[in-house]
Chains A and B, each alone.
Chain A
Amino acid sequence: EPEVTQTPSHQVTQMGQEVILRCVPISNHLYFYWYRQILGQKVEFLVSFYNNEISEKSEIFDDQFSVERPDGSNFTLKIRSTKLEDSAMYFCASSQMGTGNQPQHFGDGTRLSIL
């Protein structure tokens, strides 16, 4: 069964450094998402992406965050200058449609640790 893959599984970065989290969505999916889960808290929506542009973003997704689909398969999340509070599990998801009527499939996540 097709799946969403994320790399790396764990990223350790010094505060202030840039980090790029990578995702390969399911190949025939058109909508892409990033969520994060701070330890002990709820899974929170960050951003959705469709047709090579951001379709919706949350308050968390400030100017330090950006997303890109550099080629036909990868979908990346960049954090420009990481802060301690960016430490979390980051999940990528994809779906065929973006109306909530098609399920989103998630990757295994990247655990980001900021020192």
Chain B
Amino acid sequence: GEDVEQSLFLSVREGDSSVINCTYTDSSSTYLYWYKQEPGAGLQLLTYIFSNMDMKQDQRLTVLLNKKDKHLSLRIADTQTGDSAIYFCAEPHGSSNTGKLIFGQGTTLQVKP
């Protein structure tokens, strides 16, 4: 079945780059998503990448996709304390025609001043 895996915790210093990794299992996924959850808040859509792309850049965010290895990463350049949050990767369930998302367990990013 579909599964999405992430490491649980990442700690970086302010100004450094952060790289959050994710592996997924469904090779038929057309889009892959990154969501951000700040304390006490909902899931904020951060960025997403179409499966025929290798890379997508959006200001400080860079998404890299390796379809062969089913590996997705989110790089945050010049990480700020405001980037401290839980980051979830998600893929649409392959056999679903309703777009239901399968989430990873989330990576807690801690940014130290």
A42 touches B48 (CB 8 A): no
- Interface residue ranges, A against B (CB under 8 Å): 4, 6, 31, 33, 35, 41-45, 48, 50, 55-56, 58, 91, 93, 95, 97-109
Q: A45-B93, A100-B93, A108-B42 are in contact. List 13 more A-B contacts (CB 8 A).
A: A4-B42, A42-B105, A42-B106, A55-B98, A56-B100, A58-B100, A98-B98, A99-B92, A101-B31, A103-B33, A105-B45, A106-B44, A109-B43
Residues of A within 8 A of B29 (CB): 100
- Interface residue ranges, B against A (CB under 8 Å): 29-31, 33, 35, 41-45, 48, 88, 90-93, 96-106
Question: A55's closest neighbor in chain B, by CB?
Answer: B98
Question: B42's closest neighbor in chain A, by CB?
Answer: A108
Residues of B within 8 A of A41 (CB): 105
Question: B29's closest neighbor in chain A, by CB?
Answer: A100
A31 touches B43 (CB 8 A): no
Residues of B within 8 A of A6 (CB): 42
A48 touches B33 (CB 8 A): no
Tell me, rounded to whole Å, the shortest Cβ–Cβ distance linking A66 to chain B: 17
**Of B35, B42, B90, B106, which contacts A107 at CB under 8 A?**
B42
Complex formed: what's the CA distance from A111 to B101 in Å? Answer: 20
Question: B50's closest neighbor in chain A, by CB?
Answer: A101
Complex formed: what's the CA distance from A93 to B35 in Å? Answer: 13
